[in-house]
Structure 1
């Protein structure tokens, strides 16, 4: 598979990587802007909600941000990542302006849905940066690009503090300023090589590849846990241990930072060691961690220790899985990224809703945590049967 732009200078490639990563960071700040300020946003809108309604509102941005990764990844392949990024960021200004100005639960859900488009930045960014580097560097490069996920940590850490100083409107004005700034910066960035023959029909051919769906399933576990825990940790820390919103946001930020920063490590290791072998041990440890978390859910010391361990494990898993994405279908990196990324995003959509429903019905999150372990076992069995014991290979 040849996706390297021949003749491009190192500085041009590195600038594209930096811009793709930073633009993703800003979009991820937008994507997870509700969770750190959810109580303030609900109060500002003048609505009271049940545990399930609250969980649904928090999960809603993840829905559109997941599903739309597929067409946005295809669009990036066909027209170029730079143009697609600019169009996305112009669109995001609309829901960012709306959030502090809506005053009903229904409109909050609708606006949160629009806000979810920011999550498609992952498919755009991956398609964009891969065009500037050769295959042997894909693991590390995609790991670095994935550092854009750290935007979720910035939201969790800064927004609860900023809202006390510059109020709710001020926080979202800051986001608009960042979007405008990066739209301008992207105008000076190089455009990625495009695939003019790419079409919806041609790109969706990657859905015929079994590897696409298996990687999507594995990413559903790792990235789904990354998004779910980043999104829910504030709720956990407040509800289980009576932490303040600011302290709870700090834990959510810590989880996001660790999970993001170790992602390039997973990619780098996958350049050196067979990715599927690494992933097997990662899944085993995730399963063990989930079981321990369920047992000691209300013991703060053990809870926070396991959360840190899970951040490392899901971050490594994300990097390992995306090492393999560019090798599934030549010329359709954006489409494969869209599919795999969509499943990962949906992995962050359903758990908050399921956990909220379980909490409302049983008064505890424990059953939901054990379900994560069960899903991890399913992924491990498929990985072992098809890629470890079997002869199937994506990357040698």
Structure 2
């Protein structure tokens, strides 16, 4: 029975996550138009964009745990239907503060990452989970879809129908998901929230969180800040910068399953060793080519591939950390990655204001990759020592 439902669980869960990520990314593509409509300051616009993303990252922790306890189908469907409320209210909002309140609750869309990966992981054996969780992670493409479609909806039908059309879309997706999927039987012993959070005592949980802070956080940060780089450094138009950033996002997302597949074949630690070493090199290359468009572009595309492979490899390790608490580990690691995407842009802005250049930011990225490389090697030595002691 599991064999029969696994493909549907993977396919429909990825579809549902992609639809949810369109909603999670709703403000970024049309932030400029909203700023003009509501006469917002730059800080107000930034807060509006950040509110759903930050909340959607932090709440991945409880939602992953609840998926383990109550089943992915129920939690996923309930979360998607909940989104209808803030989306409809956002369409009627006539003040910035009401729109910001709606944005906070729209952040629940970001929690579907933890729900989807926790749900899908139960359908497949450990030896296939790297590739499978990489495929499930393709739901991140919802962010790219938002960038392409939502400005068109805004220009054609207005701000109200941006939100209302997404509300209608998520209801349809929820119905399809609910009809096509089912939950596996729950574990014999259901753990409480406190018992699930015991994974915080595991060093591996923290290591994976740091690794994902770099790989997924780097992916999000580049997606958010690359247009600024390209406009400031090379005087590209907003349209050209957006198209080139979309290429970065597509490469990093589409290559993620390859990272999971490679981790299945040769082990996550070996893949991550190559990823972190590669990020060290590409960080230095980007720092050295800040005024050479061709060199900087090649370095960015190489970084996109490395970050995508790293994302897939990290999540191959999640079920290995605590097989009975996959939801908790998924939520914690996913939250670290989401939050990690918003520190680099802030730091880069401060560095630019203080030094007049972005060079120091890439040096800091290189140093953080060095830390991750060292930690990865340390965990490898610990795993070997543990196996030797068991033998």
TM-score normalised by length of structure 2: 0.91
The counterpart of 1:147, out of the listed 135, 138, 152, is 138
Q: Does 1:338 align with 2:305?
A: no
- Residue 194 of structure 1, aligned match among 177, 186, 193: 186
- 8 A contact 1:59–1:353 mirrored in 2: no
Q: Supply the distance in 2 between the matched residues of 1:287 and 1:109 (Cα, whole angstroms).
A: 38
Please give the residue correspondences for 1:307-326 in structure 2 after superposition, counting only pairs within 5 Å: 307-326=300-319
Of 77, 85, 94, which aligns to 2:68?
A: 77
Which one is further off, 140-149 or 37-46? 37-46
Distance verdict in 2 for CA 1:354–1:22, change over 3 Å: same
Name the structure 1 match of 2:376. Answer: 383
* 1:112 partnered with 2:103: yes
Superposed displacement of residue 262, structure 1 = 0.6
Following TM superposition, by how much is the alpha carbon of 1:369 offset from its aligned partner in structure 2, in angstroms?
2.9
1:122 maps to 113
| 1:354-376 residue CA offsets vs partner (Å, 9 max, x unmatched) | 22333344444333332222211
Deviations 1:123-172 (A, max 9, x none): 10011111111122111111110111111111223333443333333333
Match of 2:38 among 34, 45, 53: 45
Query: C-alpha displacement at 1:118, in angstroms?
Result: 1.4
Which secondary structure state, in structure 2, belongs to the residue aligned with residue 281 of structure 1?
helix
Deviations 1:315-334 (A, max 9, x none): 00000111110111122111
Note closer, same or farther for the CA distance 1:225–1:88 as it changes in structure 2 (3 Å cut).
same
Q: What residue number does 1:4 align with?
A: none
CA gap of 1:393–1:65, structure 2 versus 1, over 3 A, is: farther
Of stretches 199-208 and 363-372 in structure 1, the one that deviates more from structure 2 is 363-372
Give yes or no for the alignment of 1:93 onto 2:87.
Answer: no
In the alignment, is residue 138 of structure 1 matched against residue 129 of structure 2? yes
Contact kept, 8 Å, 2:347 with 2:361, in 1: the verdict is yes
Aligned Cα RMSD in Å?
Answer: 2.3
Which position in structure 2 is the counterpart of 1:366? 359
Give the structure 2 partner of residue 58 of structure 1: 49
**For residues 95-128 of structure 1, what are the alpha-carbon distances to aligned partners after superposition, in whole Å with 9 as ceiling and x for unaligned?**
3345565566555554433222211111100111
Distance 2:260 2:55 in 1: 27
User: In structure 1, what is the equivalent of residue 244 of structure 2?
Assistant: 251
| Helix, strand or coil at the partner of 2:2 | coil
Aligned match for 2:174, one of 172, 183, 202: 183
- TM-score if structure 1 supplies the norm length? 0.89
| Structure 2 counterpart of 1:8, from 2, 12, 19 | 2
Q: Superposition pairs for residues 169-248 of structure 1, below 5 Å? A: 169-188=160-179, 189-195=181-187, 197-248=190-241
Unaligned runs of 5+ in 2: none
Would the alpha carbon gap of residues 244 and 173 (structure 1) be closer, same or farther in structure 2, given more than 3 Å must change? farther
Contact 1:221 1:376 in 2 (8 A): yes
User: Secondary structure in 2 aligned to 1:391?
Assistant: helix
| CA-CA distance at 1:13 after TM superposition | 1.1
**Which SS does the other structure have where 1:36 is aligned?**
coil
The answer as to whether partners of 1:266 and 1:317 remain within 8 angstroms in 2 is yes
2:99 and 2:290 mapped to 1: Cα distance?
Answer: 31
- CA separation in 2, counterparts of 1:276 and 1:212? 14
1:205 aligns to what SS in structure 2? helix
SS of structure 1 residue aligned to 2:42: coil
* Alignment check: 8 A CA contact 1:234 1:252 kept: yes
Q: Please state how far the C-alpha of 1:64 moved relative to its aligned partner.
A: 1.0
1:336–1:91: structure 2 CA closer, same or farther, 3 Å change rule?
same
In structure 2, the CA distance between the partners of 1:197 and 1:42, relative to structure 1 (3 Å rule), is same
Counterparts of 2:196 and 2:382 in 1: how far apart (Å)? 30
Task: Report the more deviating stretch, 254-263 or 310-319.
Answer: 254-263
